[in-house]
Amino acid sequence: MSEGAGDWWRRTTIYQVYPRSFQDSDGDGIGDLRGVIDRLPYLADLGIGTVWLSPFFASPQRDFGYDVSDYTAVAPEYGDLATARELIDTAHALGMRVVLDLVLNHTSDEHPWFLESASSRDNPKADWYLWHDGRGRGGRRPPNNWKGPLDLRTAWRWSETRRQWYLASFLGFQPDLNWRNPEVRAAMFAAIRFWLDLGVDGFRLDVFGWIMKDPAFRDNPLRPRLGGGDVIRLRDRVFTEGTPDNVVLAQDLRAVVDEVDGADDRMLVGEVFGGPAKVRSYLGDERRPGLHLVFAFDLLEFRFTARFVRETLERYEREFPAPSLPATVLENHDRSRVMDRVGGDERKARVLAMLLLTMRGVPTLYQGQEIGMRNTYLPLRGALDPFGREVLPWMPEWISRRIPERINRDEVRTPMPWDGSAGAGFTTSAHPWLPLGPESGVRNVAVQEADAGSMLHLVRDLVRLRRDRPELHSGSLRLLPAEGDVVAFAREHEGRALHVVLNMGPREALWPGSGDILRATGPGAEATAAGIRIPACTGVALVE
């Protein structure tokens, strides 16, 4: 994990594009790659270093691309390979990197591999997925107790043709590949090489810790506890998630991306879950490096308190000692938007933006986060999101409406509002695939461009500051003394320091330090003889 020439990913800021909702260029109500190309100058201007695109591969779109039916083709509603190549080249010409989203754990059940695999017990791809005989009479009981998401039902699905079960860890139409089969590995590595040859700079790896399951298919032990996102989990997932074989796979994948021209210039960032030791293990070691980065998801479930922030920063210093770094994230296409977690208080969203963009780590912004986009409440009953539909029978609407997590992920995937026109500048169609958010007319890019005090200007300022100041993109982090609702930390690099002070409380605070205010998240902060006076819910960045 030593720093070399190819360490651009350490200093970058990632922006997640959800192509279906970013920009529609042909008026069908669905975003597309041409639309992304048209908006790349906006991202470059924002100071973004890396564009991560959620999947645009051929897919029946039942999980909107996370169900792939051809890893080396582009879904027709998004464009074609030539457009994908143009996107990559245009981003590069603008000085940005491109990272694709790889779904390795499962394919669509309409992938030709699965259709063949499911057709008999002895076809050439019979062993490409995780097939198993069932228990009980006629084998009609699932092979073991492995459960799908939220532990709601068995992760196994019955195939009448094979009279066997196949594993689908996420949803039924997403059968899990058998990564212990060398032919599967070879086919997937070939797809990875295909995109590397086209010039992509790396991959975000979907549910990476799920891929290698226990080869003996042992039952997961019963152990009720609170899982991520405040959901109750009945079982430990020791045999289905985070097994040590996933780390070996991370190392093998790293070898694949390092083997291409410009080795050590590509980046792998994993969506992984688990405690600190587990999550870090995916980075591999000196001898056999693994993923370059893993997402640290703690900030998705932040509490807006100085204590939470202080503890998180302390923990990251322990868990990701330099040169390792967490990939930090406040929002993505699966979870609630920040503005809703803070009850619509934009001052708080701004403080969190300053935290994300000044702490040590590789920050990821999700499209719309820069303008403080909100969730759009959409009832579970009408969900397009298959996860929302899966949960529907178990979740009364009034509960879904009140809990902070969005079960219907459509709510965080509504189209990007670019301006106040009828289709919000996203589409000319009267029927975008998801409705525009109710605030699109007033909270959009054009309105915020025109307002120097807007969230967009703040985020752009901070992204650029991070890009331009070595203290922020490469410096160490040290907590500074601060009391009550205030968190303060120093970012230091080669003798230069930048101080960040966040007042997370409801009252003005006086931080007994000094410096010139370089940036503030809102009005009213001032340097006085007694210290830095910071209004409620405001953050400042200071230089000596």
Contacting residues toward ligand BGC, per CB under 6 A: 63, 66, 103, 170, 206-207, 271, 333-334
Question: 353-388 burial by CB neighbour count: b if 16+ within 10 A, else e?
Answer: bbbbbbbbbbbbbbbbbbbbbbbbebebeebbbbbb
Cβ nearer to ligand BGC, comparing 59 with 448: 59
Q: How many CA atoms lie within 13 A of 312 on its CB side?
A: 25
Contacts of 117-120 with CB under 8 Å at 24 or more apart are 118/159, 118/161, 118/162, 118/166, 119/161, 120/161, 120/162
User: What distances in angstroms separate CA 317 from CA 124, 280, 325, one per listed residue?
Assistant: 49, 13, 9
List residues bridging with 511 in a β-sheet. 532
Q: How far is the CB of 66 from ligand BGC (least distance, A)?
A: 3
Structure tokens at 132: 């198993």
In the complex, least distance from residue 233 CB atom to ligand BGC, rounded to whole angstroms: 16
Query: C-alpha distances in angstroms, 71 versus 81, 129, 314?
Result: 11, 16, 40
Instruction: Single out the catalytic residue among 197, 259, 345, 508.
Output: 259
CB of residue 155 to ligand BGC, shortest distance in Å = 13
**Residue 259 falls in the annotated catalytic set:** yes
> Residue 464 CB, nearest distance to ligand BGC (Å)?
28
- H-helix segments, 54-171: 81-93, 112-117
For the bound state, the minimum distance from the C-beta of residue 133 to ligand BGC, rounded and expressed in Å, comes to 26
Of 149 and 199, which CB lies nearer to ligand BGC in the complex structure?
A: 149
Close Cβ partners of 261 (under 8 Å, ≥ 6 residues apart): none
Q: What are phi and psi of 180, to 5 degrees?
A: -85, -5
* Active-site residue, from 206, 265, 271, 411: 206
Minimal CB distance to ligand BGC: which residue? 66
Smallest separation (angstroms) from ligand BGC to the CB of 392: 16
Dihedral, 20, 25, 26, 28 alpha carbons, nearest 10: 30
How far apart CA 476 and CA 74 sit, in angstroms, is 41
Listed residue (228, 246, 226) closest to 238, CA to CA: 246
Q: Minimal distance in Å, beta carbon 271 to ligand BGC? A: 5
- For residue 94, give the amino acid letter: L
Both structure tokens of 131: 């097939």
Residues ≥6 apart with Cβ < 8 Å to 45: 460
d(CA 29, CA 415): 9
Please list the active-site residues: 206, 259
